Chain A
Amino acid sequence: MAEIRAEEPASTISKTFLIKPKLKSKPRSLPQTPESKYWSSFKSTKIPNLVSSISSLSFSPSPPHLFATAYSTSVSLFSPLSLSDGDVSPSSTISSFSDVVSSIAFRNDGLLLAASDLSGLIQVFDVKTRTPLRRLRSHTRPVRFVKYPVLDKLHLLSGGDDAVVKFWDVAGESLVLDLMGHKDYVRCSDCSPVSPDLFVTGSYDHTVKVWDVRVENSRSVLEVNHGKPVEDVIYLPSGGLIATAGGNSVKIWDLIGGGRMVYSMESHNKTVTSICVGRVRKENDGAESMEDRILSVGLDGYMKVFDFGNMKVTHSMRFPAPLMSVSFSPDCRTRVIGTSNGIIFAGRRKGKENVESGRVGNVLGFESISEPERRVLRPTYFRYFHRGQSEKPTEGDYLVMRNKKIKLAEHDKLLKKFRHKDALVSVLSRKNRENVVAVMEELVARKKLLKCVSNLDSDELGLLLTFLSKNATMPRYSSLLMGLTKKVIEMRVEDIRNSDALKGHIRNLKRSIEEELRIQHSLQEIQGVISPLLRIAGRR
């Protein structure tokens, strides 16, 4: 109890301390979280002068992750490597389009690029030679999107203002399926990262439909209503969730759960034009892992980073123009945002240039669903030495308790080393009565107590005499201590005579003994009064 009472005032005081007003004004930016630090670490480069609105951005899935931009009637390819050197000129440009390019898509090996334009034509280019290999014409109205399935190299998906989604066989330049169902312009789509047959499309009729090419009657498998014209839709890496952007909200839907809305993020002020999946490096438990985020850009000029694990906006960044498109490179080093006035804000993080080279073989595009990446801990890292320490036991684990370390007091250690006198002196200076008596009893058991007494120097003898004068008359210890006192005085009579300090101790001792004697006397007097009475009573 006493301890608790002592604690409480201290804590209240610490709460009522006045905070000294700061002289400097508070910085406008919020204190940086590790995550916003991460996002600010993308060193921004401006790529200007691209004539008009950037309608589409796409990264090549294979290193070095070139990115293609569609603007006006041309498609430009940029190398992120040259970006970090400050070179903002495109590495190559394709301009064999008759109308404004609406959408571009890389095949999953990065060798082919599909582009659609508003004339309704879809062309497939070889990325290296920039020659059109196939021309797919069937759409009667402007095509708004073209997509390569993530796990499929042979087919292509497109849709446009004619409200029809078309599934193409690229090699034969032939149409495989017409998917009818949307009632308005189809604006966007994404292919499932886990299945080559599934994809979603979003339309201005507010709905997002999930299609399966294996379904015979070409009807949508699932349909969700976003509530606003859908501008963009993406699969989240697990393949079970999709995110849709429309109006000023981004909504997350659970496809496996039957199209249930999981969350609606409404932090943009104007229409969200584009979303993509980004990844952030996260440290938890000492090991590094990558976590997925949704990057969304809108006409309000903001890029928001949304953590769909915790349903929180973790970072937000403002750009000086309405934003039209966003893309994030698979190696997590480049992030590009296209604006409506022909400027691309490309951000690139520092890091080892070929950090992703180990994953070249992963051409099937499994990156997005693979395990979060962990950096291998090496003994050169500090964290190496803390690895696994915060691991929690699982249900079936058997706990092996470490034996509790026995803490020995100083006198115990000395006793273990047979330094008997030092042990006695050490415990005498600690002022714990029970311990002193216990040490004395142990010394008796070792037959060393008197030896110790004879070895004490005058200071230590003073310590012993102080202890004896205080405790010799305590009934609990008197049987031991009275005998010891007698012996000590007998043995060290010469030393006591020679020292005034010791004489003082002896005087104290004498006083306490006399007091005890007085008590005993008075007790005996009481006994003397009572015992005749007892005797009389007993005689009856």
Chain B
Amino acid sequence: MMRGGRSLVSSPPAFSNDAKKLLVCTSNTVSVFSTVTGLLITSLEGHTALVTSVIVVPPSNPAAKVLCYCWTASLDGTIRYWDFSLPELMKTIDIRMPIFSMVIPSFLDVPAEENGKHQDLFAYVSIEDTKETQERTKASRRQIRKCNLSKSRLVGRLILGETRKPEVLTVSPSGKFFGIRNKCKLHIWKVLDQGSERAAVRKITLHHTKKITVIAFHPTQRIIAAGDVTGRILTWRGFGNRAFAASNGVADQKLINVQEDKPGVRDNDDADSCSTWHWHSAEVNVLSFSSDGSYLYSGGKEGVLVVWQLDTGKKKFLPRIGSPLLYFIDSPDPTLSSISCADNQIHLLKMPSMGILKTISGIKAPCFYPDIYEGLGNGIAFDQTAGIVAVRTENYCIQFYSLFDDRGVSEVQVCERNHQPGDDVTVIVTSVALSIDGSLMSTSEVKLAEEGIGGLVCLKFWDAGSQNKEFSLSTIVYEPHRDAGISAVKFHPSGNMVVSSSFGGDFKVWKCNHDVIQNDQMRQNFSWTCHSVGSYKKKPMTAAAFSADGSVLAVAAETLITLWNPYKNVLLAVLGETLTPIVNLSFVGKSDNLVAASCGSNPQLSVWNMSKLSVSWSYKLHIEAVASAVDLSSFAALVLLPESSKKTTFKGMDGVILLFNATDPVPTVIWSVRKAKGGALCFVQVNPSSVEEISIDGKAPEVLLAYMNGDHEYVLFDPYCKDAREVSVSQKEGLAAHDHKGQAGQYGYASIYGELPEFDRKRPEAPWVPSFPSDRPWETIFSGSSHNLPPLTKLCSAFLESLLEKRTAAAE
């Protein structure tokens, strides 16, 4: 069982003390990456829910720099203490309430064990109080509390603040202040006496008119910066002079109030001055002071890191990051820092020049398009042999992600278009297909029309050079099916043929002519040309598939399945009818079965037997994805559960994976999964190099099933392994009810279409006999696009000849 594809940017990462490691929260674990190579070193596993904070213990003296200790907090309600060099769990503090954020302000002030008396270490946590649900309103259950880490408990009933939403705590580098944002307000606490548990922490509030999104403390001075949703950056100087500095005389405060002139400060807030910078066009997500406090880094949705010189307000930029920024983290090494982007990439920056040194590349999140284009498939393609998945990304790229290594391999820019986060979507990559050996790729894209003008569909073929796996464009076909959209693109098993089906009622088979150019290095030159065009009763073609040996091409014409000989372009057979259009076709490995999935109001999963040309069995299930291994007789289907059953039987699970033997309607194994919408399935062949790490109990599995959910997180597991089955057993009772329902669906279907097999068996006989192309030239003579047709004079003679022949035949 391998998990991967997790988000690297769910919470801010942290650098180790020597800046050689970067600790990244990846859902339940903390992954430790090397900043030099950008590769995963190790991971801290133990939390059972999302890790929300990771804090590296700073060294108390220079010699302690090599120590690698960190605190982590998670939504599972525990705070854990790790030695991440080993990695080893040292201590667990269970506070039984989900922790959204944790800060430990007082590392620096802990006077170690020198004076004999060990002082307690305190953390401030942002938690949700799950216990007191009955007494309190939901709004005030999110609390800021203090936690004694040394004694492993929360400090009494000390509640520093309550907020409506879980807020992120921000601590000043000096450890004297921490704060949160709360809508248009900032709350700042001063950490007072370290030793005592009960010490009252003082709080001030600063006000603003817009919603504040992020705050940052100056490392040495009393300056706090805050970014708001409109892109402004506010800087308060000398905050808390009154409340924090003055002893406790109310009279004094009043006096100061009268005397002071405080430019820009609102509502009699406790600050000397407030200034505003405005460059960002959208909300500010990143704010951070440089370690010497002379610069301020800011970033936001537009994906530009801005460096402000604090005294003069002069700006420097790092543009073209291409994705909204989420976190900026300074490292103890002044030449290194990191930015986390919303597209699941962490860039390590070389600091004064702000060049990107290395990128820790996670799988990019799926891109969301307006609803009209929803039905165009999920844009995920698998390279079964190499264990690589190709996903389309928001910046018009195809990202290649290694499933075994859990890191990005490369990226191919599909459209020549710069992506700016927040732009209107004008080009959509609708589908991507990879050949079985992974060396060829085909993508289709749609350029959206502006009020009906200038829409363009484009089919592109790519090939990877033999040495490097960089894909290069070999052929572009504009408007391959006139103005109709492409519904599916599939590769022939041999790799030199592609079928593209369109909603415009035809499908085209493209053939690859490749010639090897012998210049200084062997270079293959691929070019793709249209081999044949087919259509069936002008019906929209919605799905296509090649059989495993490549001799049969199945194309779904809405509710019918047409079978073709791809080489001769001859219609072999037409298979019966489903209720709603078929969206997914797949041949089951080497067996003579074809799986068809249709969606809509009457979703259906049906398995057709090619030898009998009839339906074997079917379920009424909403299928999201179907996968079949090349040389197995089983297939897996990802099923979206209906709303009704989701509530009752599956807790939070919205999908199941069913593993079928093609001949048997009873699934052999069932797994339930989350976030199945937009998911994908694939059987991945195990290559020998990665066998050692995957092998579970001594023997290596031949084939693994990869499931990728709607958030592009994936899991690889052996579908035939024992313990995987045991895991699923616990879920099986819950599924039984649904199983039954599915069989009932089959029953109902059989009752309606009981006679279908015989009906189908007869029908294919008819087209079999006369479909020899030589006999009926007029059927094919005018087919093909206009520029491919021979001149009319040539056609005419052939055509008339065929007619004449008929006459003579009739005369005889």
Given contacts A444-B449, A534-B778, A537-B778, contact A449 B454 (CB under 8 A): yes
How far does the Cβ of B782 sit from chain A's closest Cβ, in whole Å?
7
User: How far is it, in angstroms, between the C-alpha of A534 and the C-alpha of B799 when the chains are bound?
Assistant: 9
Total CB contacts across the A-B interface at under 8 A: 52
Q: Is the CB of A444 within 8 A of B799?
A: no
Q: Judging by beta carbons under 8 Å apart, are A479 and B802 in contact?
A: no
B451 touching A487, Cβ below 8 Å: yes
How many Å from the CB of A60 to the closest CB on chain B? 63
CB distance from B154 to the nearest CB of A (A): 54
Q: Is B693 an interface residue (CB 8 A)?
A: no
Q: Within the assembled complex, what's the spacing in Å between the Cα atoms of A450 and B453?
A: 9
| Contact with B778, one of A446, A479, A480, A538 (Cβ below 8 angstroms) | A538
Chain B residues numbered 152-185 whose CB sits less than 8 Å from any CB in chain A = none
CA distance A440 to B449 in the complex (A): 12
CA distance A536 to B453 in the complex (A): 40
| CA A445 to CA B446, docked complex, whole Å | 11
* Contact call A446/B426, Cβ cutoff below 8 A: yes
Instruction: Identify which of residues 439-477 in chain A touch chain B, using a CB-to-CB cut-off of 8 Å.
Output: 440-441, 444-450
- B771 CB to closest chain A CB (Å) equals 14
From residue 765 to 783 of chain B, which have CB atoms closer than 8 A to chain A?
776, 778-779, 782
Binary flags per residue of A359-398, CB closer than 8 Å to B gives 1, else 0: 0000000000000000000000000000000000000000
In the complex, the chain B residue whose C-beta lies closest to that of A479 is B483
- A480 pairs with B450, CB closer than 8 A: no
- Beta-carbon contact of B417 and A445 below 8 Å: yes
Interface of B is mostly: mixed
Given A441-B456, A484-B453, CB of A447 within 8 Å of CB of B426? yes
A441 to B450, CA, bound (A): 10
Contact B453 A483 (CB under 8 A): yes
A440 and B776 CA atoms in complex are apart in Å by 45
Residue of A441, A534, A540 near B454 (CB, 8 A) is A441
**Would you call B454 and A483 a contact (CB within 8 A)?**
yes
Task: Kindly list chain A residues whose C-beta atoms are within 8 Å of the C-beta of B370.
Answer: none
Cα A312 to Cα B424 with chains together (Å)? 76
* In the assembled complex, B744 has its CB within 8 A of some CB on chain A: no
Residue B447 at the A interface, CB < 8 A?
A: yes
Known A538-B778, A538-B779; contact A444-B453, beta-carbon cutoff 8 A: yes
B451 touches A536 (CB 8 A): no
> Within the complex, which residue of B417, B450, B778 is in contact with A447, where a contact is CB–CB below 8 Å?
B450
Q: Which of B422-439 contact A (CB under 8 A)?
A: 424, 426-427
Cβ proximity bits A150-190 to B, threshold 8 Å, 1 near / 0 not: 00000000000000000000000000000000000000000
Q: Which residues of A contact B803 (CB under 8 A)?
A: 533, 536-537
Residues A480 and B454 in contact, CB atoms below 8 Å apart: yes
Query: Smallest Cβ distance from A286 to chain B, in angstroms?
Result: 36
A444 contacts which chain B residues (CB < 8 A)?
A: 426, 447, 449-450, 453-454
**Chain B residues near A441 (CB, 8 Å)?**
447, 454, 456
Cα distance A483–B452 when bound, in Å?
7
B651 within 8 A of A: no
* A445 touching B427, Cβ below 8 Å: yes
Residue of B nearest to A476 (CB): B478
Complex: A449 Cα to B453 Cα, angstroms: 9
Known: A441-B447, A445-B417, A446-B426. A534 touches B453 (CB 8 A): no
Q: Which residues of A contact B483 (CB under 8 A)?
A: 479
Q: In the complex, which of the residues B450, B456, B779, B782 has the most CB atoms of chain A within 10 Å of its own CB atom?
A: B450
Tell me the minimal C-beta distance from A487 to chain B in angstroms. 6
- Determine if A445 and B802 form an interchain contact, defined as CB atoms under 8 angstroms apart: no
Please state if A450 and B447 are interface contacts (CB–CB under 8 Å).
Answer: no
Q: Nearest A residue to B423 by beta-carbon distance? A: A446
Contacts of B453 in A (CB 8 A): 444, 449-450, 480, 483-484, 487
Interface status of B118 (Cβ within 8 A of chain A): no
How far, in Å, is A54 (CB) from chain B's closest CB? Answer: 70
How distant is the Cα of A534 from the Cα of B417 in the complex, in angstroms?
Answer: 47
Question: Is B806's CB within 8 Å of the partner chain A?
Answer: yes
The distance in angstroms between the C-alpha atoms of A480 and B455, with both chains bound, is: 8
- Give the Cβ gap from B304 to chain A, nearest Cβ, in Å: 17
Give, as a whole number of angstroms, the nearest-CB distance from A363 to chain B.
55
- CA of A440 to CA of B453, assembled, Å: 10
- Name the CB-closest residue of B to A475: B786
Contact-size category for B: 20 to 34
For window 485-524 of chain A, which residues contact chain B by CB distance below 8 Å? 487
Write the nearest CB–CB distance from A278 to chain B, whole angstroms.
52
- Contacting residues, chain A, for B450 (C-beta < 8 A): 444, 447-450
Assuming the contacts A445-B427, A538-B778, A540-B806, asked whether A440 and B454 have C-beta atoms less than 8 A apart, the reply is: yes
Give the shortest distance, in Å, between A437 (CB) and chain B (any CB). Answer: 9
- Give the docked Cα–Cα distance between A501 and B479 (Å): 36
Asked if B454 and A447 make an inter-chain contact with CB atoms under 8 angstroms apart, the answer reads no
Cβ contact within 8 Å between B806 and A537: yes
Interface centre among A441, A450, A534, A537 (most CB of B within 10 A): A537
Interface mask (B743-785 → A, CB under 8 Å = 1, otherwise 0):
0000000000000000000000000000000001011001000
CB distance from B733 to the nearest CB of A (A): 54
Give A453's nearest chain B residue, CB to CB.
B453
Question: Which residues of chain B (444-479) have a CB below 8 Å from chain A?
Answer: 447, 449-454, 456, 479
Q: Which residue of A lies closest to B456 (CB)?
A: A441
Q: Chain B residues with Cβ under 8 A from A440's Cβ?
A: 454
Q: Do A450 and B426 touch across chains, with their CB atoms under 8 A apart?
A: no
- Pair A450/B451 contact, Cβ less than 8 Å: yes
Q: Which residues of B392-450 have CB atoms within 8 Å of chain A's CB atoms?
A: 417, 424, 426-427, 447, 449-450
Residues of B near A536 (CB, < 8 A) are: 803
A residues less than 8 Å from B454 (CB atoms): 440-441, 444, 449, 480, 483-484
Closest residue to A449 on the B side, CB-wise? B450
- 1/0 per residue B630-655: CB within 8 Å of A? 00000000000000000000000000
Q: How far is the CA of A450 from the CA of B451 in the complex (A)?
A: 9
> How many Å lie between the Cα of A448 and that of B423 in the bound state?
13
Residues of B within 8 A of A448 (CB): 450
Cα distance A384–B454 in the bound complex, in angstroms: 56
Residues of B within 8 A of A449 (CB): 450, 453-454
* A450 to B427 Cα, complex, angstroms: 18
Please encode chain A, from 268 to 296, with 1 for each CB lying within 8 Å of some chain B CB and 0 for all others.
00000000000000000000000000000
- Roughly how many angstroms separate A484 CA and B449 CA in the complex, as a whole number? 11
Q: Tell me which residues across on chain B come within 8 A of A483, comparing CB atoms.
A: 452-454
Kindly state the separation between the CA atoms of A450 and B452 in the bound complex, as whole angstroms.
Answer: 11
B790-810 with Cβ < 8 A to chain A: 799, 802-803, 806
Q: Kindly identify which residue among B426, B479, B799, B806 contacts A445, using a CB–CB cutoff of 8 Å.
A: B426
Taking the closest CB of chain B, its distance from the CB of A2, in whole angstroms, is: 26
Is A445 a contact partner of B451 (Cβ separation < 8 A)?
no
Residue on A nearest B806 in the bound complex, by CB: A540
Q: Which residues of B contact A484 (CB under 8 A)?
A: 453-454
The chain A residue with its CB closest to the CB of B478 is A476
User: In angstroms, how far is the closest chain A Cβ from the Cβ of B228?
Assistant: 27
Nearest CB in chain A to that of B452: its residue: A483
Q: Is the CB of A537 within 8 A of B799?
A: yes
Distance, CA A238 to CA B450, complexed state (A): 81
> Within the assembled complex, what's the spacing in Å between the Cα atoms of A537 and B782?
12
CA distance A521 to B559 in the complex (A): 36
| B449 partner residues in chain A, CB cutoff 8 A | 444
Set of chain B residues within 8 Å of A487, measured between Cβ atoms: 451, 453
| Bound form: Cα–Cα A389–B426 in Å | 48
22 A-B interface contacts by CB (under 8 A)? A440-B454, A444-B426, A444-B447, A444-B449, A444-B450, A444-B453, A445-B447, A449-B454, A450-B450, A450-B453, A479-B479, A480-B453, A480-B454, A483-B454, A484-B453, A487-B451, A536-B803, A537-B776, A537-B799, A537-B802, A538-B779, A540-B776
Supply 18 further A-B pairs (C-beta < 8 A) apart from A444-B450, A480-B453, A487-B451. A444-B426, A444-B447, A445-B427, A445-B447, A449-B453, A449-B454, A450-B451, A479-B479, A483-B452, A483-B454, A484-B453, A534-B778, A534-B782, A536-B803, A537-B799, A537-B806, A540-B776, A540-B806
Question: Can you list the 8 inter-chain pairs with the closest CB atoms, starting with the nearest?
Answer: A444-B454, A537-B778, A483-B453, A445-B426, A444-B450, A480-B454, A447-B450, A484-B453
